Copies of this chain bind each other. A is one copy, B any other.
Amino acid sequence: MFIELINTGTELLLGRTANTHQQWLGCRLADLGYRVARQATVSDTGPEIEQALREALARADLILVTGGLGPTSDDLTREQVAALLGRPLRLDAGVRAHIERFFALRDRPMPAGNEVQALVPEGARVLWNPLGTAPGLAIEARPNPFRRDGAPSWLVLLPGPPRELQPMFNDTVVPLLRERLPPAEDSVSRTLRTVGVGESLVQARIAEPLRPLVATGLELGYCAHPGQVDVRLAARGPEAARLVRPAEETVRGLLGEHIFTAADEELETVVVRLLTERRQTLALAESCTGGCLAHRLTNVPGASAVFQAGLVTYSNAAKERLLGVRAETLARHGAVSEAVAREMAEGARRGNETDYAVAVTGIAGPGGGSAAKPVGTVFLALASARATVAEHHLNLWDRETFKQVSANQALDLLRRAVLGGRA
């Protein structure tokens, strides 16, 4: 099944608004066993929308169009679709009553301009919109004059605002798909997220062992983020699970503890969950990551159950006063050193009476490097009741990526310790 997504909106092409529909609809459809084959963004003008619709009608079984259903002069999707398919627009009394009620509930008269939203192309299904005035529309082009074989295409028109589109999709489009366009075949997909090993090394380890499965239909994909590589295993058809399951076992065997989740979670989410399950607590001592680690951990709802305090000690004075790092250690080894990282972690753990403390000190750049300690140098330490362990990395990235990668390494050091591998 060929699915095409068309996003209308000049503001998307000007970059003034992020295209959140692409991600949201792509994800929802993938979870339902569908796959978007093509996505396009076009401006709000009539000829552009028509051209995109013609191209999609010539190849797609399902076309999702977002935006252009509003009441203003640049909302042209409804009219373009009706004209292209030769379906006259008729005023729908039920939709008109819904729009009137929408304004009445808000103590406002219905503006005359909104009446166009009650126009429905002949033969279209109305997709009700409890959160706005624009209904969605679903139209089957059957027969479809734009396709060589005349095969039908479904056109689904959705409103632009995400808070209207998302419930409408779940409540009305998903049942329509299940009824009229069930997934052609079973599909199975699994994404293993890894940390601590680069994209080319991940591939070097797993590509060859997976080759026989790829030859029989396994889809293998990689997606690299700073400090993280996702491995996606997918297959279609009745044998899908029989391909994905052994592939996952192979990858787990080869990448082992580098895999931190198969559930689309962030690394910080996994760490908070592991600590919460064990009723263990955490303190942080950050220098070069400058609060990035605390910020990411506290993005996780419920982090307050495990996270006690984070000390962002940029200056040497703050390291001494807040963490008890010794002046002598700072003078002898420098602030960016394993010895200081260890004292930072131990000081944070002692002061906050936590099970674990993680410390990061390094040189984020662009300034501050030296021959012995270049920009990108980072020392991590983890203190627990068992021991204090330290790691050294060289993260040659721009400043912001350096912070994210170093934070990932620190979270991973903690994850492995909590799982019992270290410290």
Spell out A's residues near B (CB within 8 Å).
9-20, 22-30, 35-44, 48, 55, 70-74, 105-107, 111, 113-114, 131, 161, 163, 167, 191, 199-201, 203-204, 207, 220-224, 226, 230, 232, 264, 284, 286, 289-295, 297-299, 301-304, 307-315, 317-318, 321-322, 351-352, 364-368, 394, 396-401, 403
Contacts and interface: CB of A to CB of B under 8 A. Distances in A.
Contacts of A42: 38
Given A230-B16, A284-B312, A290-B303, A10 B221 contact: yes
A15 B26 CA distance: 4
A294 B375 CA distance: 20
Contacts of A318: 308-309, 352
B291 A310 contact: yes
B298 A294 contact: no
Given A73-B207, A291-B310, A298-B291, A37 B13 contact: yes
Contacts of A401: 163
Nearest to A189: B14
A322 B315 CA distance: 16
A399 B299 CA distance: 7
Contacts of A22: 12, 15, 18-19, 41
Given A15-B22, A106-B394, A106-B396, A290 B301 contact: no
Contacts of A19: 19, 22-23
B295 A292 contact: yes
18 contacts: A11-B223, A11-B232, A12-B22, A14-B35, A15-B27, A16-B30, A38-B42, A40-B40, A70-B222, A131-B398, A163-B398, A290-B297, A291-B292, A291-B298, A295-B295, A304-B368, A309-B313, A310-B312
Instruction: Say how many copies of this protein the assembly contains.
Output: 2
A199 B108 CA distance: 13
Given A13-B36, A397-B163, A291 B295 contact: yes
Contact of A48 (B37, B286, B366): B37
A39 to B, nearest CB: 4
A351 B321 contact: yes
Contacts of A322: 309, 311, 322
A203 B13 contact: no
A53 B270 CA distance: 41
A85 to B, nearest CB: 22
Contacts of A44: 221
A192 to B, nearest CB: 12
Nearest to A288: B298
Q: Give the 9 A-B CB pairs with smallest separation, nearest first.
A: A290-B298, A15-B26, A291-B294, A15-B27, A310-B312, A291-B291, A309-B318, A291-B295, A16-B223
Nearest to A20: B18
A313 B199 CA distance: 37
A40 B43 contact: no
A63 to B, nearest CB: 14
Nearest to A351: B321
A221 B37 contact: no
Contact of A40 (B38, B222, B264): B38
